[in-house]
Amino acid sequence: MRVVKLFVHMLAFSKQGPQVAGEVDRHDRLLDKVCVLKHEETTLEVGAAIRRIRKEARLTIDDLSHRTGLSRAYISQIETAKASPSLQTVKRICEELNISPALLFEDPEASCIVLRVERQKVLQFETVKDDMVYTKIVNMLSEPNKKLELVQIVLTPGSTAGDHAHAGEEIFFVLEGEVTITHGQQSHVLRAGDSAHIESQMTHKLHNHGSVPVKFISARTPPGFIDLRHEETLKSLRN
């Protein structure tokens, strides 16, 4: 900002006339206002980012307070932009959230977002049939509220994923084991290294027909798993 002001001064004094000093003062006042507004905007963005990442990590304000040594009230003020933290404070908070401080200043609409393993939500579905428990474990690998959703799914023997239809497209890539994918009237066996790309508006499902768990990746657009209500259908595996 000092460089901008210096440029304004140089531009003004390169001209002759009594109005020059007045123009410089006017530009200075405008630039000062920009500085204040930008500072407030940055404080708001940083606080909102800390709050979002803390919640995604399933930490309460009390948890973060205990980890950082900062008071609960101060953290709350930071998250609501009522307090402007020092760089040292931001660094301390980021260390406990296991993120780079740069992540707080990036545009969430055009950023590279890293989801550390401790921030990835892991969900479990269980179905009981004939005294047998069939389990599906879903590891959310993508950031919420994006156009593309990536999940890792583990099916225990006899378990099924899907058996539904929805808008969009989906790609499956098998990491371990074998799985039968049914798309409409067609069925195919996928083994480790195989993939399938489907149009999701046709009924589809994946079934573990083997005797060992199968693990595969699903990339889906638009997202679907993230819209499921935890309190009704899911049980978290991580605190």
pLDDT for the residue 26: 53
| Predicted confidence (pLDDT) per residue in 146-200, tens digit | 788 999 999 999 999 988 888 899 999 999 999 999 999 999 999 999 999 999 9
Q: Is the peptide bond before 222 cis (omega within 30 degrees of 0)?
A: yes
Model confidence at 226: pLDDT above 80: no
Q: For residue 235, what are the contacts with CB-CB under 8 A and spacing of at least 6?
A: 123, 124, 126
Report how far residue 69's alpha carbon sits from residue 91's, in angstroms, rounded to the nearest whole number. Answer: 13
Q: What is the CA radius of gyration of the chain?
A: 26
CA geometry: angle at 48 spanning 46 and 51, to 5°?
A: 110
Q: What is the mean pLDDT of residues 214-235?
A: 68
Contact 140, 122 (CB under 8 A): yes
Neighbour tally for 151: CB within 10 Å:
22
pLDDT in tens, 91-132: 899 888 888 887 777 665 556 778 888 888 888 888 888 778
